A and B are shown apart, each in its own frame.
Chain A
Amino acid sequence: MQLQFEQVTHTYQAGSPFQSTAIRDVSLTLGSGELTALIGHTGSGKSTLAQHMNALLAPTSGRVLLDGKDINQKGVSKKETRQRIGLVFQYAETQLFEETVAKDVAFGPKNLGLSQAEIDARVKEALHRVGLPEEIAEKSPFELSGGQMRRAAIAGVIAMRPEMLVLDEPAAGLDPMGREDMLALVRSFHQAGTSIVMISHSMDDVARLAQRIIVMDQGQVALDGPAEEVFQDADQLNQMDLDVPQVCKLALRLREEGFDFPLCYRMEDAEKALTALLKGGKPHA
């Protein structure tokens, strides 16, 4: 599947004294099984962009096309769009509301008009895919730990069997291993064939996970490319008030100090380069 943005602009409260343009003239293509990170500082427009991905917001101008079809056109089912493209909000656990985890996860599939047997099968499968034990299904979501609650909320979206999953800061507020587990979960969805768009503030997470990085700044796409290319532009990222991965910071500092050091961003690459440098390689300092 392909999701295409064609010169999309969104202005909040257009025509009022409070009007503000959150995204301007954005064109890009998402999907095709990619794992994409969407980054940008608060107010850069990335959440507005995300909400256009499954028709929660409609463009003020421009079009969003899902496999060539305008998702905001009359007669195009929003329900179907939202089944195919699942959106997981930040702190998604705050949206749990049912008496049991199973009922919460079943909420979406039920709205699709599936048979009870199919719904049950999907709930079971979704809980399994997010790594929650089956016994949890009959518990109240509010008895779960914070990390489990977030997984239950994600299961509700997974149960729709979306082709693309948009996650807004899925690891926010989790402890380091919880973060690790969440990233592994996102990777597992991707490996199972789901296209992923992950909004994240953590450059270290992005460096480890993403194939492609889209950087939003002031409502526009400032950078868009493979991770290794985007992190080459560390200066520009800093100017946009973003961070670079710790490894990338080290590489930049070592280059400043006069070392001939590659501009890497992955731990493995820094290890290799440092091993070469410090095990008899000629330093240029």
Chain B
Amino acid sequence: MSGIIEVQNVRYAYEEGGALAVNDVSFTVEEGEFTAILGRNGSGKSTLAKLLNGLYQPDSGTVLVRGMSTADETHIWDIRQTAGMVFQNPDNQLVATMVREDVAFGLENTGVATEEMPGRIESALRAVGMEAFMDRAPHLLSGGQKQRVAIAGILAMRPRIIIFDEATAMLDPAGRREVFDTVERLNREGITILWITHFMEEAARCRRIHVMDGGRIVLSGTPSEIFADAEALRDLRLDVPAMKQLADRLQAQGIPVSGDVLQVEDMVREVKRLAAAI
């Protein structure tokens, strides 16, 4: 079985002979998955992301996106249209003076027929809940709104995959919620998501997690598998979600809380279950 993204033994160094930023990484992303990538600053997450849509080419190994190799230049536009990318800083991603023009920007480069454009732009903005802002200036939007416009710009290209490189790092809590909820909805509608983050609470809401360290993938699993070993994660300069920390503390007190608790609702369910048994 082959996934929508196939990464095989990929190595990448920024300078020839220099330290490997990505070192012998292999993994598969299945169509429709919601995968988080965690790792300390400098662990290679962003480099990996840029290898996935052909912004970088591997020094060795292969990256296949829907079967197309990123090393094959004839496929590069297809690959970037298939796998869109949203970056950290919303201000660096918006270029036009009007929201609708910004969303159109990518389309104009892909040879979509002019008469098809308005429809695509509108439906992309509707998908992120920003259709009312079509004729506004992007620089007057909030951080969360800007990121949603950036996502619309990608959606207009009808991608199958969107890669987010710490897309909520610079947003306030409301902006983060806004963007993450939008992304969860897009995933339910079938778009494959790769979500790079430093926020454990966000990773807990993904379906699979890969943890990177020193350019390698060192742990892979479901959120409850990954967060089961808090010590191992702290050694990797990561952490576990607050509710998992609380669950571990309660377990140490002899209270039989399930080890699967990662989110507030999980803990509420456990407290109700345990209280009913008293």
- Seen from chain A, the residues whose Cβ lies within 8 Å of a Cβ on chain B are 41-43, 145-147, 172-180, 201, 203-204, 241-243, 245-247, 249-250, 253-254, 257, 259, 267, 270-271, 274-275, 277-280, 283, 285
Nearest-neighbour CB distance to chain B for A151, whole angstroms, equals: 13
Q: How far is the CA of A41 from the CA of B144 in the complex (A)?
A: 11
* Cβ < 8 Å to A, chain B residues 229-278: 234, 237-239, 241-243, 245-246, 249-250, 253-255, 264-265, 267-268, 271-272, 274-276, 278
Q: How far is the CA of A267 from the CA of B246 in the complex (A)?
A: 7
Known A176-B238, A201-B173: A254·B268 in contact at CB below 8 Å = yes
The answer to whether A177 and B40 touch across the interface, beta carbons within 8 angstroms, is yes
Nearest-neighbour CB distance to chain A for B242, whole angstroms, equals: 4
Known A43-B142, A250-B243, A278-B250: A177·B238 in contact at CB below 8 Å = yes
Q: Does B118 contact A (CB under 8 A)?
A: no
Known A174-B41, A204-B242: A275·B253 in contact at CB below 8 Å = yes
Contact of B169 among A172, A271, A275, A278 (CB under 8 A): A172
Q: Does B137 contact A (CB under 8 A)?
A: no
Nearest-neighbour CB distance to chain A for B40, whole angstroms, equals: 4
Known A201-B172, A271-B250: A259·B166 in contact at CB below 8 Å = no
The answer to whether B238 and A175 touch across the interface, beta carbons within 8 angstroms, is yes
Q: Does B50 contact A (CB under 8 A)?
A: no
Q: How far is the CA of A152 from the CA of B276 in the complex (A)?
A: 54
Q: How far is the CA of A259 from the CA of B238 in the complex (A)?
A: 33
Complex interface: chain A residues within 8 A of B174 (CB)? 41, 241-243
Q: Which residue of A lies closest to B248 (CB)?
A: A271
Contact of A146 among B42, B171, B237, B239 (CB under 8 A): B42
Q: Does B215 contact A (CB under 8 A)?
A: no
- The 8 residue pairs across chains A and B that have the minimum distance between CB atoms: A243-B173, A177-B237, A176-B239, A246-B242, A283-B275, A241-B174, A175-B40, A41-B172
Known A253-B264, A253-B268, A254-B268: A177·B234 in contact at CB below 8 Å = yes
The answer to whether B42 and A271 touch across the interface, beta carbons within 8 angstroms, is no
Known A41-B173, A274-B246: A259·B275 in contact at CB below 8 Å = yes
Q: Does B143 contact A (CB under 8 A)?
A: yes
Q: Does B24 contact A (CB under 8 A)?
A: no
Q: Which residue of A lies closest to B276 (CB)?
A: A285
The answer to whether B267 and A278 touch across the interface, beta carbons within 8 angstroms, is no
Q: How far is the CA of A279 from the CA of B251 in the complex (A)?
A: 12
Q: How far is the CA of A285 from the CA of B88 in the complex (A)?
A: 44
Contact of A42 among B39, B175, B198, B275 (CB under 8 A): B175
Complex interface: chain B residues within 8 A of A246 (CB)? 201, 241-243, 264
The answer to whether A280 and B278 touch across the interface, beta carbons within 8 angstroms, is yes
The answer to whether B245 and A175 touch across the interface, beta carbons within 8 angstroms, is no
Q: Does B200 contact A (CB under 8 A)?
A: yes
* Cβ < 8 Å to A, chain B residues 154-179: 166, 169-175, 177
Q: How far is the CA of A275 from the CA of B278 in the complex (A)?
A: 13
23 example contacts (A-B, Cβ-Cβ < 8 A) are as follows A41-B174, A145-B42, A146-B41, A173-B169, A173-B170, A174-B198, A175-B237, A175-B238, A176-B237, A176-B238, A177-B237, A246-B242, A253-B264, A253-B268, A257-B271, A259-B271, A267-B242, A271-B249, A278-B278, A279-B253, A283-B275, A285-B275, A285-B276
Q: Which residue of A lies closest to B253 (CB)?
A: A275
Nearest-neighbour CB distance to chain B for A99, whole angstroms, equals: 21
Complex interface: chain B residues within 8 A of A146 (CB)? 41-42
The answer to whether A274 and B255 touch across the interface, beta carbons within 8 angstroms, is yes
The answer to whether B41 and A175 touch across the interface, beta carbons within 8 angstroms, is yes
The answer to whether B278 and A283 touch across the interface, beta carbons within 8 angstroms, is yes
Complex interface: chain A residues within 8 A of B143 (CB)? 42
The answer to whether A278 and B237 touch across the interface, beta carbons within 8 angstroms, is no
Nearest-neighbour CB distance to chain A for B98, whole angstroms, equals: 18
- Map CB proximity to A onto B100-134 as digits: 1 under 8 Å, 0 otherwise: 00000000000000000000000000000000000
Contact of B255 among A176, A180, A241, A278 (CB under 8 A): A278
Q: How far is the CA of A236 from the CA of B113 in the complex (A)?
A: 49
Complex interface: chain B residues within 8 A of A172 (CB)? 169-170
Complex interface: chain B residues within 8 A of A147 (CB)? 41
Q: Which residue of A lies closest to B45 (CB)?
A: A175
Q: Choose among B166, B169, B172, B250 the residue with the greatest number of A CB atoms under 10 Å from its CB.
A: B172
Contact of A279 among B172, B238, B255, B268 (CB under 8 A): B255
Nearest-neighbour CB distance to chain A for B260, whole angstroms, equals: 16
